[in-house]
Chains A and B, each alone.
Chain A
């Protein structure tokens, strides 16, 4: 497999801005991916295990938003 050319900047300001943007991107992706999984009938323990966090953590972070969005949530 050919090496992928990733244009990582050498400038500290660019590198730090990339970290901030990647965190925001990861948060947005987590919201979208958890919602997609729950809409597809995944349970909280399954989503938590896939993310590598506790069930309580994923529930606390996403339950209110998904309930407000009308997603039918499986308890187990």
Chain B
């Protein structure tokens, strides 16, 4: 198993824990983004931190996007006074459509042997629609600029 395969496995395991915390049955792209921000020592993690996006900042941006999208339909997440549900007994096992797309897109950017963690992040940042681009936009993050920084990091690694 290559270093990159081990990284993907780690990201999926951590993404599954993030999905479980969210009460989500499947791992989605935003869970992968949280996972990337949680695993230190990679090119992808360096780019995120340089942009001020540690795990807490990403979580806050995602929560804001959720509240904002609910508010667009006149709904407040805080309006329901139920105690939060207990989490499921096991981390999520399935990948959702957004996570699959992120991997597909990321893997297109490099030859199989040259894939790096930054390619996974690049795949997530390619999405124009969905939770991640909306959360980043609401947080004032320039997604194209962030993707350019990821590409630069990859170029520096291979130089």
Q: Does A51 lie at the interface of the complex (its beta carbon under 8 Å from any beta carbon of B)? A: no
Beta-carbon contact of A22 and B73 below 8 Å = yes
A49 within 8 A of B: no
Whether B66 contacts A6 by the Cβ 8 Å rule is no
Contact of A65 with B by CB under 8 A = yes
Residues of B within 8 A of A17 (CB): 65, 69, 72, 130-131, 134
Within 8 A of B (CB), among A1-44: 4, 6-9, 13-18, 20-22, 24-25, 27-29, 31-36
SS class, residues of chain B in contact with chain A: loop
B75 cross-chain contacts in A, Cβ below 8 A: 22, 25
**Residue A57 interfacial (CB < 8 Å):** no
Tell me whether B83 is interfacial, beta carbon within 8 Å.
Answer: yes
A-B interface pairs (CB < 8 A), number: 79
In which size bucket is the chain A interface? 20 to 34
Check: B159 CB closer than 8 A to any chain A CB. no
Whether A22 lies near B82 (C-beta < 8 A) is no
Number of interface residues of B (CB under 8 A): 27
Give the distance to chain B from A22, nearest Cβ to Cβ, in Å. 6
Q: Does B126 contact A (CB under 8 A)?
A: no
Provide the bound-state CA to CA distance between A20 and B65, in Å.
11
Whether the Cβ atoms of A31 and B77 lie closer than 8 Å is no
Decide: B69 and A21 in contact? CB cutoff 8 A.
yes
Shortest Cβ gap from A33 to chain B (Å): 6
Contact partners of B129 in chain A: CB under 8 A? 13, 16
Bound Cα distance A50, B125 (Å): 41
Residues on the A chain within 8 Å of B74, using CB: 4, 6-8
Q: Which residues of A are found within 8 Å of B131, using beta-carbon distances?
A: 17, 20
Which A residues touch B80, using CB under 8 A?
A: 29, 32
List 6 A-B pairs, minimum CB-CB distance, nearest first.
Answer: A6-B74, A69-B86, A31-B85, A68-B89, A21-B69, A18-B73
Complex A-B: 6 CB contacts under 8 Å: A7-B72, A14-B69, A17-B69, A18-B70, A22-B73, A27-B23
Using a CB–CB cutoff of 8 Å, the interface residues on chain B facing chain A are 22-25, 65-66, 69-75, 77, 80, 82-89, 129-131, 134
